[in-house]
Amino acid sequence: MRYSELIQLYFERSNALQWYWTLYVVVVGGLLAFSSLRVRRDAITGILVTVLFCFFAYKNLDAIHDVTLQRAATLQAIRSSPTNPVDAGEVASEVARTRSMVEPTLVSPDYEGTRNFHIASDLLTVAAIWAMELRRARAARSESAK
């Protein structure tokens, strides 16, 4: 692959990663909104929502893992690509100038940190779902006591 194609691939993988995070944020936001707007307590709904969210979070993290590995491999290919152009379409001085400006900005965070952040967010989301469910249960008990 030419250097310019590698750079394009890196940013395509970065965009894919961003889309997985965007999807995750939208799902978590929708889930928390759904949970906060429910009026009646219902443990079965809480359990189903929790299980479905866990399935989604697991698959989302798996996709983030795959894209992170692809992005890291692409970054490794960028850094190890030859400095001289592969074909006449790339001018050596342009590639060298682009390399010196762009490559220092291409950073790829460790997957372990990303995984830990995702799992912590997953746990907090599940805790929020059940905190709202417990709040509804307490409210129902206090109303029935009146």
Amino acid at 86: V
The pLDDT score that the predictor gives to residue 39 is 80
Q: Report CA Rg, the chain.
A: 23
- Asked if 31 and 71 touch (Cβ cutoff 8 Å), the reply is no
The pLDDT score that the predictor gives to residue 62 is 98
The pLDDT score that the predictor gives to residue 126 is 97
d(CA 91, CA 73): 24
pTM of the model: 0.83
pLDDT tens digits for the chain (146 residues)? 888 889 999 999 999 999 999 999 999 999 999 998 888 888 898 899 999 999 999 999 999 999 999 999 999 999 888 766 555 555 677 777 878 888 889 988 889 999 999 999 999 999 999 999 998 888 888 888 77
Give, as one character, the DSSP assignment of residue 107: -
d(CA 67, CA 4): 20
Cα angle for residues 120, 62, 121 (degrees, 5° grid):
15
